[in-house]
Amino acid sequence: MTTTRRTSEPASLRGTKLTWLWPGLALIALAYVAFFPALGNQYVNYDDGTYIIVNPLLDDVSGLVEIWTGTKSQMYYPLVFTSFWLEKQVGETLGIISTDQPPDPHINHAINILLHGIAAVLLWRCLVRLGMRSGLAWFATAIWVVHPLQVESVVWAVERKNTLAGLFSFAAVLTYLRAGTRMRSGAYVWSILFFVCALLSKTGFLLLWVTLLLLEWLQRRPLRADAVVRALPFFAIGLMFALLTVAGEHQAIIRDIPPFVSRMVIGGLAVWFYLGKLLWPAGMAAIYPRWDPSVTPLTLLPLALACVGGVLWVVYAARKRTYDSAVRATVLIAAAHYVATLAPALGLVPFGYMELSFVANHFLYVPIVGPIVLLAVGLDALRRRIGVGRAAIGGAAALIVLLGGHSFARSLAWKNTITLAEDILRINPNCARAHLVYGLEIEEQARQIEETQPDAAIELRREAVERLRLAVQLRPNDFRTRFGLAGILDKAARRDRASADRYWTEAVEHLRAALRTQPGFHDARWLLARILVKVGDYEAAAEQMELLPASYHRKPEVIDTWARCYSQLGRYDEAFEKARINLQLAPQAERSHELVASVLIRLKRYDEAFEACNDLLALNPRWARAYLLRGQCHLAIGDAQAADQDFQRALTLDPRYAPAVDQLRRSDTSQPTSQSPSP
C-alpha cells in the first residue's frame, strides 16, 4: 500500500505569515527574563580567558584572517571567534571599551541570550512544521528555553558556540523541511549553508544528517534512494568536520581516559543521567564529579536496558499504524534525535573535557529537544485523558515559571569566577579545576592590591597557594595545575622575602614534576629556568634554556636571561653571542644595550663597551646603570677621575644604587662622599 505524501503545509502554518510574530517575540522575552542575571555577570576564568579576555586574534584584521585560515587553535570554530572579534571591534569604535580591553561582558551575555531566543523561535517553527499544534509546540519550546540545563550554554560566554550552532542547526532543519523533495530549490541550498555554519560554530552537531534521514522516514516518505541522496551532502560535510575534530583532539593532551568498554558504559549511564536531570533539575553543577570508570556487571545493566529497550521501542513504534501521524512523527523523532545528537558527547571518541568529568549540562543544548518534546506530548495526552481545560494552561504556566525561576537562580552562580567556583565546590568538593581557578582568581586579587596593601596581598597569596596545593593533591598528574601553583609560589616569593627560598624550592619541585609528566610543556621549562636563576643555580638554568624549542630562541626575555646565565658561569663568549642576538631582537630596549656592555666589560673589550654604554645613554640619558658600566670601563683603563664622575651621575639618578656605591668606594676611598648610601 502506497502512503500519500503531504504536499500542503500543516493547518497551523496557513493563514497570515505574521501569526508567528508575537509568540516568537514572547519566546525571546522569556529567554531574557529567565537569564536576566547574566546581563550583569563578568567573564569567568573557565576558558573565557583564552577564548576572549587575552585572545590576540581579536585585536585586528590579521587576527580575523588567522581565525579563518590559521591552525593555532586545536578547535576550529571560526564563526564563534568572528562574533567575538566583531564585538571587540564595534566596542572599540563606539568607545565602549579601549583597545587593551576584551569585549564588554554584559554585551556578550546579551547577545548570547538573544541568539538563544532566536534559536527558540526556529525550533518552534520546526515543531509546527513537523505536525505539532502551534500551542503545544510553543509550550515545548518554552520549556527548552527556560530549563536549568540550558544555563551553561546561555550564560557562559565561550558557549556562544552552542547558541550559534543551535540557531544554525534549527535553521538548517526548517529550510530542509520547506525544501521537501526539491534538491534544486533555494531552501535546500540554504539548508546546506546553515548546516555548514552550524559546524563552523561547533563540530559537535555533525550528526544532524541522521535527524534529517529520520525526518524523511517519519514524514511518510519511504526511505528510498532519493532520500539518501538528499542527505548525502550533509553526511559528507559532517564526515569532513568529524575528521577535522578527531585530528584536533589527537593533537590535544588528553589524560586519564578510560578504555573503550568503560566509555561505552559511561555513555549508557550518561543517557539516563541527563534524562534524570531533565525531570528533576536538582544538584546541578558546572563540573560534575567524575565517575569511577571501572566496569562491573551492575554498571553495565543500565546500558543494556537502554540499548535493548530503545531498539524494541523503535521497532514497535515503526510498525504501529493506529495512532495519529503527527504524534508518531513527534515521538519517534524526539527519541532518535536525542540519542543521535548526544552521541558525540558520550565519550566513545575521547575528548579533552573527559579529564574533568564525563557529563556536562552544555552538551545538552540541542539533544534535550527530543526528551522535552516527549514530555510536552505526554503532558498533553494526560490533559486530554483527564479532561482538564483552562487548568492545564495554568499548570503549563506554573511549570515554565518554576523552571525559569530555577534558571534565574542558577544564572547568579555565574556572576564571576569566585561565585562559580564556590557553586561547583558545593556539589563537587573534590574538583581540582575549581580549586585551581579559585586560587588563580585570589592571586589576581592579590596582584591588584599589592602596591597599596602589601600585607593583605601576602595573605591572599598564601590562601591562593593553599588552594592550588589542594588541587595538586587531588590531581597530582595534572601538569597544568602544578604549573599554576609554581607561578603563584614565584610571585609570593618576590613579595614575601622571608619565605622566598622555601617558596622557590617548592616551585622548582612542582615544575620538575610537571615536566616529567609532560616534557613538551615549554612554558613550565621557561618558568623553571627563571626561578633557577633567582636561586643562583645558573648551570641548571642554562641547561633548561638549552632544551627550549627554537620558537623561544627569538624571545628577547629568554635570550637576555640566557646571556646572563652564561655570564655568571664565566662563559663570556657564549654570553656575548646571546647578548648580540638580543640586541638585534630588541634594539630599542635599554636592557639589550646594557647586557652587551656588561658582557663586553667581562671580555675586556673596553672600546666596544664604551660604545655600547654611549648608545644606551643616547637611547635613555637617565639609565643609571649605563653610567655605572661606563664608570667601570674608565676604572679598568685607569681613568679614576672619569670613573668617579660616572659613578656620581649614577648615584644622582638612583641614590640607592648599591653597585655604584660599591664601585665608588673602591675608586676613591680617600674622598668619601656623603651621597653614598648604605648598601
DSSP assignment of 49-87 equals IIIIIT-GGGSSHHHHHHHHH--SSSS--HHHHHHHHHH
Q: Quote the CA–CA distance of 54 and 579 in Å, as a whole number.
A: 30
Alpha carbon 388 to chain centroid, angstroms: 48
Q: What's the Cα-to-Cα distance from 606 to each of 297, 603, 634, 643, rounded to whole Å?
A: 80, 8, 9, 13
Asked, for residue 9, whether it belongs to a domain, the answer is no
CATH number at residue 583: 1.25.40.10
DSSP codes, 131-185? T--HHHHHHHHHHHHH-GGGHHHHHSGGGHHHHHHHHHHHHHHHHHHHHTT-TTS
Over the stretch 529-540, which tens digit does the pLDDT of each residue have? 999 999 999 999
Amino acid at 454: P
Predicted pLDDT of residue 129: 87
Asked, for residue 101, whether it belongs to a domain, the answer is yes
Q: Give yes or no: residues 341 and 446 share one domain.
A: no
How many percent of the chain have pLDDT more than 70? 85
Asked, for residue 5, whether it belongs to a domain, the answer is no
Predicted pLDDT of residue 677: 31
Asked, for residue 416, whether it belongs to a domain, the answer is no
Q: Give yes or no: residues 613 and 669 share one domain.
A: no
What dihedral angle (degrees, nearest 10) is formed by the CA atoms of 586, 588, 589, 590?
Answer: 140
Q: In the structure, what pLDDT confidence band is assigned to residue 5 with cuts at 50, 70 and 90?
A: very low
Asked, for residue 418, whether it belongs to a domain, the answer is no
Q: In the structure, what pLDDT confidence band is assigned to residue 323 with cuts at 50, 70 and 90?
A: very low
Give the structural domain span for 393.
20-411
Question: Which of 405, 435, 425, 418 lies closest to 151 in space, CA to CA?
Answer: 405
Predicted pLDDT of residue 659: 65
Q: Give yes or no: residues 324 and 369 share one domain.
A: yes
Total length of the chain: 679
Whether pLDDT at 379 is above 90? no
User: Of 378, 411, 444, which residue constitutes the final position of a domain?
Assistant: 411
Asked, for residue 66, whether it belongs to a domain, the answer is yes
C-alpha cell at 575: 654570553
Q: Give yes or no: residues 234 and 171 share one domain.
A: yes
Q: Is 213 helix (H, G, I), strand (E, B) or coil?
A: helix
Q: What is the mean pLDDT of the chain?
A: 84
Q: In the structure, what pLDDT confidence band is assigned to residue 74 with cuts at 50, 70 and 90?
A: low
Q: Give yes or no: residues 394 and 446 share one domain.
A: no
Q: In the chain, how many domains are there?
A: 3
Whether pLDDT at 325 is above 60? no
Q: Give yes or no: residues 430 and 552 share one domain.
A: yes
Q: What is the mean pLDDT of residues 242-248?
A: 70
Check if the beta carbon of residue 468 is closer than 8 Å to that of residue 431.
no
User: Of 350, 382, 411, which residue constitutes the final position of a domain?
Assistant: 411
Q: Quote the CA–CA distance of 509 and 491 in Å, as a whole number.
A: 16
> Left, alpha or beta for 536 (phi > 0: left; psi -120 to 50: alpha)?
left
| Helices then strands, each counted (H, E), the chain | 30, 0
Q: In the structure, what pLDDT confidence band is assigned to residue 314 with cuts at 50, 70 and 90?
A: low
CATH number at residue 638: 1.25.40
Check if the beta carbon of residue 13 is closer than 8 Å to that of residue 128.
yes
Q: Quote the CA–CA distance of 131 and 220 in Å, as a whole number.
A: 12
Q: What is the mean pLDDT of residues 412-433?
A: 95
Alpha carbon 598 to chain centroid, angstroms: 44
Predicted pLDDT of residue 184: 74
The structure's pTM equals: 0.83
User: Of 369, 385, 411, which residue constitutes the final position of a domain?
Assistant: 411
b/e burial code for range 12-48 (CB count within 10 A of at least 16 → b): beeeeeeebeebbebbbebbebbbbbbeebbbbbbeb
Asked, for residue 609, whether it belongs to a domain, the answer is yes
Q: What is the mean pLDDT of residues 194-219?
A: 82
Q: Quote the CA–CA distance of 91 and 108 in Å, as a whole number.
A: 11
Q: Give yes or no: residues 232 and 109 share one domain.
A: yes
Q: In the structure, what pLDDT confidence band is assigned to residue 315 with cuts at 50, 70 and 90?
A: low
Q: What is the mean pLDDT of residues 116-125?
A: 96
**Helix 78-93 and helix 61-69: axis angle, to 10°?**
170
Q: In the structure, what pLDDT confidence band is assigned to residue 554 with cuts at 50, 70 and 90?
A: confident
Q: Give yes or no: residues 199 and 78 share one domain.
A: yes
Predicted pLDDT of residue 7: 40
Q: Give yes or no: residues 325 and 399 share one domain.
A: yes
Asked, for residue 432, whether it belongs to a domain, the answer is yes
Predicted pLDDT of residue 541: 93
Q: Give yes or no: residues 603 and 633 share one domain.
A: no
Q: Give yes or no: residues 447 and 468 share one domain.
A: yes
Q: In the structure, what pLDDT confidence band is assigned to residue 303 with cuts at 50, 70 and 90?
A: low
Q: Give yes or no: residues 321 and 462 share one domain.
A: no
Check if the beta carbon of residue 10 is closer than 8 Å to that of residue 129.
yes
The top-scoring range by mean pLDDT among 17-21, 260-264, 598-602 is: 598-602
